[in-house]
Amino acid sequence: MLFIAGYFAYIRGWIFIDFESITPREIHSLLEKHDDNITILDVRSVLEFDREHIKDAKVIPLNILSNSLKKLNHLKNKKIIVYCHSGRRSIQASRILKAEGFTPINMKGGLIDYKKEGFALIKAIK
């Protein structure tokens, strides 16, 4: 039972994180500053990204992130805002990025909480 509780706390990012994890409101505030030292990375699937995403975000799905790190080498000196749908994949992605020398900032609650705050997304044209 203790193992299950520990595992749950780990995947939710409540324990053993060595990167910053901030709220959608704080993320939105950072993005409004138009800082060139910040990149936005969506780690959901391409299909999810195509439906809706944060303006100027780049997509690299979590399942190919480890094999795509060379594409991000030019971002090693920048902060990378990492998000997904609910915050679980972005925690995993932030751990991968941090281990490879990047500076990830995880968005707590993912797009679910971002939308609850009322922030605009780029939507697919139908």
CB 44 within 8 A of CB 61: yes
35: tokens are: 């800082």
For residue range 18-71, what is the model confidence (pLDDT) as tens digits?
799 999 999 999 999 988 899 999 999 999 999 999 999 999 999 999 999 999
For residue range 68-125, what is the model confidence (pLDDT) as tens digits?
999 999 999 999 999 999 999 999 999 999 999 999 999 999 999 999 999 999 998 7
CA distance 24 to 116: 9
Q: In the prediction, which pLDDT does 1 show?
A: 67
Q: In the prediction, which pLDDT does 32 show?
A: 92
**Domains along the chain with CATH numbers:** 2-123 (3.40.250.10)
9: tokens are: 């706390």
